[in-house]
Amino acid sequence: GLSMPKDTLRCVGYHGFCFHSKSCPEPFAAFGTCSRRQKTCCIDTTSNFHTCQDEGGHCVPPEIKCLQEQVGLCPHREWKCCTEV
């Protein structure tokens, strides 16, 4: 695998970028940290990537069945975003 920290890989997996500054430039929104908390993970808010909670959903682990899935980012890649659990 790549020799990047897990949190950095997760950020990149969510189409985010790691910025040195604590705040993200427009139109990016902060979504955690990268590089062992040395940088901020920023995600492009103009794309269809919203966090699950922004959309009013809940993040659930893969073993839980959703009544209704919805679009939204969860902090854990395998987790699903559900409107109803």
| Structural domains for the chain | 1-48 (3.10.360.10), 50-84 (2.20.20)
In the prediction, which pLDDT does 44 show? 77
Q: Which residues contact 77 (CB under 8 A, 6 or more apart)?
A: 10, 13
In the prediction, which pLDDT does 13 show? 74
pLDDT along the chain (85 residues), means of 10: 75 81 85 88 74 80 87 76 81
Q: Which residue has the tokens 């950020």?
A: 11
Alpha-carbon radius of gyration of the chain = 14
Number of neighbours of residue 56 by Cβ within 10 angstroms:
11
CA distance 19 to 61: 29
Beta bridge partners of 28: 44
